[in-house]
């Protein structure tokens, strides 16, 4: 369901975090898949506990607010869902790499595409799917 029990997030801060996800995925693809580890750690906290419990998110919020770059407030529920998917994809990529499979590149490329969509044109595919699901199947009260 839509989460209204967690504070809303700033749109430009989440776009910046998507850009950093893109950079880490590039590093994972071209340098070492171990760059999935910090992605998974950040996504774990942001996706399951809330954005404001993740230390780097708080740093970016302070920096962006101080400079007036924060953008507009957005519902955090959809962004938390997106971070849960990021967590699963990061863990899957890391586990595939540890298993010796070249298939670790697939989650990496998927994350590259979707994080690019988020930071470049502010299209969050997971957020869209989240909203679509709850429009079609609203929670019963």
Characterise 50 by phi-psi region: left (phi > 0), alpha (psi -120 to 50), beta (else): left
| Collapsed DSSP state (helix, strand, coil) of residue 5 | coil
Nearest to 96 by CA among 24, 17, 40, 18: 40
Query: Percent of the chain beyond pLDDT 90?
Result: 80
In angstroms, the CA 65 to CA 125 distance is 26
pLDDT over 80 at 130, yes or no: yes
DSSP state of 53: G
In angstroms, the CA 111 to CA 109 distance is 5
The mean pLDDT of 97-125, rounded to a whole number, is: 97
26-43 pLDDT tens trace: 999 999 999 999 999 999
- Alpha helices (H) along 33-124: 36-48, 55-67, 76-98, 105-121
| Collapsed DSSP state (helix, strand, coil) of residue 10 | strand
Q: Specify whether the CB–CB gap between 25 and 115 falls below 8 A.
A: yes
Q: Specify whether the CB–CB gap between 44 and 88 falls below 8 A.
A: no
More confident residue, 81 or 103: 103
pTM for the full model? 0.91
Its sign, for the CA torsion 104, 28, 52, 10, is negative
pLDDT over 90 at 110, yes or no: yes
pLDDT band at 88 (very low <50, low <70, confident <90, very high): very high
């Amino acid at each position: 369901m839509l989460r209204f029990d967690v504070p809303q997030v700033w749109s430009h801060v989440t776009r910046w975090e998507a850009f950093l996800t893109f950079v880490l995925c590039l590093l994972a693809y071209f340098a070492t898949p171990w760059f999935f580890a910090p992605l998974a750690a950040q996504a774990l906290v942001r996706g399951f506990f809330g954005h404001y419990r993740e230390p780097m998110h708080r740093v970016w919020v302070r920096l962006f607010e101080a400079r007036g770059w924060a953008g507009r407030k957005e519902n955090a529920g959809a962004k938390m869902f997106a971070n849960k998917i990021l967590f699963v994809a990061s863990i899957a990529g890391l586990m595939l790499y540890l298993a010796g499979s070249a298939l670790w590149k697939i989650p990496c490329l998927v994350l590259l595409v979707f994080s690019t969509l988020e930071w470049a044109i502010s299209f969050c595919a997971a957020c869209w799917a989240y909203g679509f699901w709850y429009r079609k199947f609203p929670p019963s009260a």
